[in-house]
Amino acid sequence: MALSENCKTQPAKETGSVKNLPSDVIELNVGGQVYYTRLPTLTSIPNSLLGRLFSTKKGSSNDLARDLRGRYFIDRDGFLFRYVLDYLRDKQVVLPDHFPEKGRLKREAEYFELPKLVKLLASEESKQFQDDPFHSDFDDASLGSDQRIYSSYSLDRRYGYITVGFKGTCAAPGVKDSQIDSKSKKVVPRIFISGRIGLAKEVFGNTLNESRDADRPVDRYTSRFFLRFRHLERAFDMLSESGFHIVACNSSLTASSISHYAPEKVWSNYTQYVFYRK
């Protein structure tokens, strides 16, 4: 069958643990997240995309790419795929309370051609809107009729705060790098992100480094994420495009000697910017 560019063919490499797996156990790499499941699970809905790709019927062919360890590679959202897999196992899906990514999960269900899951998520979105404690009749009355039709994306736009922290150093004028001790040089400018994980992922996407607080549910909070770039203006642009406005900021500044033998100082600053979306 013809596949999208997300599923281009590459030669398989039977390396690592893949070749040692039982014949009906499949190892998948979905957007960098590794999953183990059984072949009957993937083919439990024969007319779905995965059902056709992994079909054992005569004449069927699997054209999925493989990663360097020989795992089947699918270029989709690795975090949301867990819910797709849950649905294939149980024919139902249980989402965390106030799950902010129903719209994106619905899009994944459409890609994997799971119409019943799409319908289920659509009803969940409608229920979420009705049960939203922040929604009132006054809100509806204040909108025009064209604004009362909410897309799946707008339903995911939750209220909340995101705090951006910036840590950096600078030396006094005329101080050369060779004069600064190694401890001071190790302070690399970095942008930290604190707030609800679902909001942070929505705003910053793949530029968000989650390595220090990985695999946490999207409705939890973190203060350990940081960005893969170092330009505050870029972070501010991304927040502004997502509807956030700055509401507060504070800054601290400390000084330390560049070495034991010199009076010059190295200045370290830490600034926090608080953004809110309503």
Task: Please give the domain boundaries of the chain with CATH numbers for all domains.
Answer: 5-130 (3.30.710.10), 160-277 (no CATH)
The predicted pLDDT at position 145 comes to 37
Predicted local confidence at residue 257, as pLDDT? 65
What is the Cα–Cα distance from 155 to 198, expressed in whole angstroms? 13
Q: What's residue 219's pLDDT?
A: 81
Residue 153 CB neighbours (<10 A)? 12
Residue 21: the pLDDT is 52
Q: pLDDT value at position 95?
A: 87
Task: Tell me what pLDDT residue 194 has.
Answer: 93
Alpha carbon separation from 273 to 255, 259, 277 (Å, rounded): 22, 32, 14
Measured CA to CA in angstroms, residue 161 lies from 158, 181, 203, 208, 214 at distances of 10, 38, 12, 16, 20
Can you point out the beta strands (E) in 31-180? Answer: 33-38, 65-66, 72-74, 160-171
**Can you give the length of the chain in residues?**
278
Model pTM? 0.43
Q: How far apart are CA 274 and CA 163, in angstroms?
A: 4
Q: How many CB atoms lie within 10 A of CB 210?
A: 17
Residue with tokens 């790419």: 65
pLDDT tens for the chain, residues 1 to 278 = 444 445 443 444 444 444 455 578 999 999 989 999 999 999 999 999 999 999 887 666 667 889 999 999 999 999 999 999 999 999 998 888 778 888 899 999 999 999 999 999 888 766 654 544 444 333 344 434 333 333 333 334 468 899 999 988 766 555 555 555 555 555 578 899 999 988 999 899 889 988 887 877 888 888 889 999 989 999 999 999 988 999 999 988 887 665 555 556 677 888 999 999 88
Q: Is 168 helix (H, G, I), strand (E, B) or coil?
A: strand
